[in-house]
Amino acid sequence: MKPNLQLDAKGLSCPMPIVKTKKAIDTLKAGEVLEVQVTDKGALADIPAWAKAGGHIILDHSEEAGVITFLIQKV
């Protein structure tokens, strides 16, 4: 799946990945997809919790070489 927007939040620690993710998803239309890359392990819990609270959908998440990637669909 090709995201509509990519966000590089690598190297940032809580709460900045969430702050930047919110700002990025606010620029998207409903149904569009945001790819977020983070290195903060706390994001494994924080981003899904934030997405659920906002009604957004985590389509996928993966981890490779210390980089966690989320695909989030705006609703």
Catalytically active residues, by annotation: 14
List the helix and strand counts (H, then E) for the chain: 2, 4
